[in-house]
Structures are given as structure tokens and as C-alpha cells.
Amino acid sequence: MKKISTIFAFVVAMMAFSTQIHAQGMDPQAMIQRQMDRMTTELNLNKDQVAKLEPLIEARMNKMMELREQGMERETMMAEMKKVNDAQAELIKSILTPEQMEKYKAMQSQTRQGGPPRN
């Protein structure tokens, strides 16, 4: 009986942990909010910049989720996302100051290299 109780407790704990990871990792709105919070803080964005950037970040996230749901191969999805990212980068250049753009590029590079945790 003790063994069954221990196994049950372990299963319940793993389910709770799994739910927490899923809620943090794949919730598009949470991902958008984390990215906006990070950009606002690290780039010192003003309210106008936040208002202009948030729809861009949201559109990118929606496109990424759409591509994932289509179940396409990784290479194809990466190619499509590169197009989206390149188009978005051009729009971001028109919103950020040159100094902010340099910081943004550094953030992107750091993220690609497995940089600091994303909260």
C-alpha cells in the first residue's frame, strides 16, 4: 500500500510539473508578454514604441503557432519563420533608435546562442 501511495504521489507531482511547464512554455500570450517585458526593460522603450512593437511581436507569434499547427517539416518551418523575422526586423528598425537597434541585435544574438533564461 505504501508503494502504491508513493507511486500515486509521484504521478500527481509529475502531472502538475508538466502542466506548469506547458503553461509557461507554450502559452502564446505569456510568450508575447515575456518578450515585450524583456524588450521594454533592456531597450528602455517608451510607451509609443511599446504600442508599435506589441502588434508586431503578436503577429510573429501567431504566425509561428500557425506554422507549428500545420505540422510542416522543421526546415520548411524555419525557412518560413526566417521570412517573417526578416520582414519584422525591417519594421522594428523604423521603430527603434539606432542605439536600441544595436541592443536589440545583441539580444537576438544572445538568444540564438542559448543566452540567459527568458523568465
pLDDT given at position 7:
57
Residue 44 has what DSSP assignment? T
pLDDT given at position 3:
56
Q: Is residue 68 part of a domain?
A: yes
Q: Is residue 59 part of a domain?
A: yes
pLDDT given at position 115:
56
Number of other residues whose CB lies within 10 A of the CB of residue 43: 20
Q: Is residue 62 part of a domain?
A: yes
E-assigned strand segments in the chain: none
Rounded alpha-carbon distances, angstroms, from residue 25 to 17, 52, 105: 12, 25, 23
The model carries a pTM of 0.67
pLDDT given at position 95:
94
Domain count, the chain: 1
Q: Is residue 2 part of a domain?
A: no
Q: Is residue 4 part of a domain?
A: no
Q: Is residue 3 part of a domain?
A: no
Q: Is residue 58 part of a domain?
A: yes
For the chain, residues with pLDDT lower than 70 are 1-26, 114-119
pLDDT given at position 18:
45
pLDDT given at position 9:
46
Q: Is residue 5 part of a domain?
A: no
What domain range includes position 78?
28-112
